[in-house]
Amino acid sequence: MDCKYQAGKGMVGCLVALILVAVVAMIAYKVIPTRIAVAELQDYCEEQAERASLPEYKDETLATNILEKAKKLELPVGAENITITRESGQIHIVVRYTISLRFPGYTYRWDVSHDVERVLF
């Protein structure tokens, strides 16, 4: 059996796999922390909606709390992105914003919407 033609044939496959792993790692490095921050803000909006029945939780207070949490999580949320309405014994909190995830040669725009509705007691 002559092995001289087999030498190095696995290098191309190894190189492709290494590049693929590097691309997946880069995407995960940017996406995973962002998804965690978005989920945290969703949970926080739900928590604020549950507290909305308390007298000290006016709409302005809720909006300020949400803005502060978004700032801490480094999410691009401004006062114009938050809508709070109370009607028929319910509160409805909507937070909409866009996150730009920049990759080499491509920018992904992720439109996020937190939509929380709770009954006021």
pLDDT confidence band for 4 (50 / 70 / 90): low
Q: Average pLDDT in the 99-111 region? A: 94
The pLDDT score that the predictor gives to residue 6 is 55
pLDDT in tens, 28-74: 999 999 999 999 999 999 999 999 989 889 999 999 999 999 999 99
Comparing 3 with 46, the larger pLDDT belongs to: 46
| C-beta separation of 30 from 101 below 8 A | yes
Round the average pLDDT of the chain to a whole number and report it: 91
Rounded Cα gap, residues 53 and 109, in angstroms: 35
Q: Residue 87, Cβ neighbours under 10 Å: how many?
A: 8
